[in-house]
Amino acid sequence: MRADLIEPERARRTTHLAWPRILTGIARMSKNAVDIAMVGVAVGSAGIAGVGFASPFWGLAFAAGGGIAAGTIALVSQRYGAKRLGAVDRAVRSSAVIVVAITLPLIAIFWVFGGDLVALLSNDTEAVALGATYLRIVAFGIPFAALNLIGSRVFLGVDDAKTPMILRSGGAIANAVINGVMIFGLDLGVAGAAIGTVLSNALVTGIFAGGLVAGRLPGLGELPVQIDPRGSYLGDVRELVDIGTPVVGRKLVWTIAQFPMLAIVALFGPQVVAAYVIARRIWGLMNTPGWGFGLASSSLVGQALGSGHEETAEAYGREIVRFAVAVYVVSASIVFVLADPIVATFAGGGSETMISVAVSLVSAACVAIVLKGVSESAAGTLDASGDTEWPFYSQVLGIFGVAIPLAYLGATTSLGLYGLYLAFLAETTVPAVLNYYRFATDKWKQVSRRHRPDTPA
């Protein structure tokens, strides 16, 4: 604030929403990293690679759930800003029915074809077998994970980031504990890691649903919103699909891109695959500020738009980008300096080659991750307005147009690992430039007018 990055009151409201989401992200990504570390200790590098090969399929839960959740937070925040609380119920019910309809078929697909799907990414027999085992079991958690995203965005849309932080962080802790019991206590290996993920997500979904219907949670008291389960479940489906489909596509971009990317990384050999999986887990930890600032931007910009204050919405969008970049610079610098011990923590009993490659990949990621502050925060503003197509196109271009070709050149030419380093940079630079350009055009304000409540109460 002393550097005039953001007006003090807007900084307070942004921080109020962002820091709980960042802590939630850290807890979730730490859980993922701990999973990898536990599997590495219990099973070895083949287990790490197997979980890595299965992860893109699990990511479909976050692509589907996160896309519809973007529509949820846009509608909920605008209705909350316009004091149209009665319209919140319909948006939440419609969001829930959409994600259940999308994710239920995935359980059957992954259970039946799990082995064949993982085998598309590698010919390493042991890694494929372990990845298939993980995928078949973890598939049962996909609908729960998607519903948790909806529940989280409902609270964020009404200025409550602490409740989802407590619930989802608690779920991450429960996941780690259950995994420890399953992997080491019952000697279930990757199957134990998958069971822990399913049980913890189901637990959090049950608490979210019970709290939203009752309007209160034990220990947390009254909630800012209460959802009546009776009523139309299809009332806002069309609007949610209109806003959410490009976001589903945007999130699917990286999920789908992981298939060719992992296949390309596999050309470097199993040690580089394990190193890349570890680096992506650490990348996920470094990326948690973007989740917080992106969702804070969606909530605060949406509320300002809902109340008709477009200049305030623009100010929030611009200043949150500055705030996010400053935070990323500090966090990335810390990880860059401590890359060696951080990688060693997650690498378990990995070889020197694997650890060395992982450290170099993490160092490259530290440079690239700073631009996530721009792309995620600007995308949050566009999501709040319902202008979700532009971030989708920028993500497609950045990953499929630039990052994957660079990685392939690295695997097939003398460029080598530098291709993977440049791929990290391209993954963030292209969306950052294009998303901020769209924000600067002000066209997102025009789009938002199609999705706002008709009149304030």
DSSP string over 102-170: HHHHHHHHHHHHHHHHHHTT---HHHHHHHHHHHHHHGGGHHHHHHHHHHHHHHHHTT--HHHHHHHHH
Look at residue 434 in the predicted model and tell me its pLDDT. 93
Residue 124, phi-psi category: left (phi > 0), alpha (psi -120 to 50), beta (remainder): beta
356 within some domain? yes
Q: Rounded to whole angstroms, how far apart are CA atoms 77 and 300? A: 8
pLDDT in tens, 8-46: 777 777 776 666 767 766 666 666 666 677 777 777 767
Task: State the chain's maximal CA–CA distance in angstroms.
Answer: 64
Q: Rounded to whole angstroms, how far apart are CA atoms 382 and 276? A: 31
Residue with tokens 């316009």: 82
Structure tokens at 337: 């300096």
Question: Alpha carbon of 355 to those of 268, 338, 358, 407: distances in Å?
Answer: 15, 13, 5, 20
The sign one gets for the Cα dihedral 18, 457, 66, 40 is positive
Find the domain containing 167 and state its range.
8-448
- Which of the residues in the chain have pLDDT under 70? 1-6, 16-19, 21, 24-35, 45, 60-61, 80-87, 159, 233, 235, 244, 346-350, 451-457
Number of domains in the chain: 1
Look at residue 92 in the predicted model and tell me its pLDDT. 80
Question: Alpha carbon of 54 to those of 4, 120, 271: distances in Å?
Answer: 45, 11, 17
> What are the residue ranges of helices labelled H in 216-309?
237-266, 270-286, 288-306
457 within some domain? no
Look at residue 243 in the predicted model and tell me its pLDDT. 73
Q: Rounded to whole angstroms, how far apart are CA atoms 261 and 423? A: 10
16 within some domain? yes
Structure tokens at 78: 């605008």
Q: Rounded to whole angstroms, how far apart are CA atoms 385 and 393? A: 17
DSSP, collapsed to helix, strand or coil, labels residue 234 as: coil
> Residue length, the chain?
457
Cβ neighbors of 163 (< 8 A, separation 6 or more) are: 155, 211, 217, 220, 223
Look up residue 370 and give its DSSP letter.
G
Look at residue 194 in the predicted model and tell me its pLDDT. 84
Cβ neighbors of 355 (< 8 A, separation 6 or more) are: 275, 343, 344, 347
456 within some domain? no
The sign one gets for the Cα dihedral 264, 415, 364, 322 is negative
Look at residue 453 in the predicted model and tell me its pLDDT. 58
68 within some domain? yes
DSSP, collapsed to helix, strand or coil, labels residue 182 as: helix
Look at residue 1 in the predicted model and tell me its pLDDT. 41
Look at residue 301 in the predicted model and tell me its pLDDT. 79
3 within some domain? no
- Is the CB of residue 111 less than 8 Å from the CB of residue 56? no
Look at residue 437 in the predicted model and tell me its pLDDT. 92
Look at residue 58 in the predicted model and tell me its pLDDT. 76
Chain Cα centroid distance, residue 104: 20
Cβ neighbors of 440 (< 8 A, separation 6 or more) are: none
pLDDT in tens, 280-309: 888 877 887 777 777 777 778 777 877 778
The sign one gets for the Cα dihedral 421, 427, 431, 432 is negative
The sign one gets for the Cα dihedral 170, 173, 177, 178 is positive
Angle 363-369-374 from CA coordinates, rounded to 5°: 160
C-alpha R_g of the chain:
21
Long-range contacts of 203-207 (CB under 8 A, 24+ apart): 203/171, 203/174, 204/144, 204/148, 204/167, 204/168, 204/170, 204/171, 205/144, 205/147, 205/148, 205/151, 207/167
Look at residue 403 in the predicted model and tell me its pLDDT. 92
Residue 245: which of 377, 139, 386, 105 has the closest Cα? Answer: 386
Look up residue 181 and give its DSSP letter.
I
73 within some domain? yes
Structure tokens at 19: 């820091």
Structure tokens at 118: 């993982």
- Is the CB of residue 414 less than 8 Å from the CB of residue 442? no
Look at residue 348 in the predicted model and tell me its pLDDT. 59
With 0-12 CB in 10 A as exposed, 13-18 as middle and 19+ as buried, what is 123?
exposed
Q: Rounded to whole angstroms, how far apart are CA atoms 160 and 367? A: 32
367 within some domain? yes
Look at residue 456 in the predicted model and tell me its pLDDT. 42
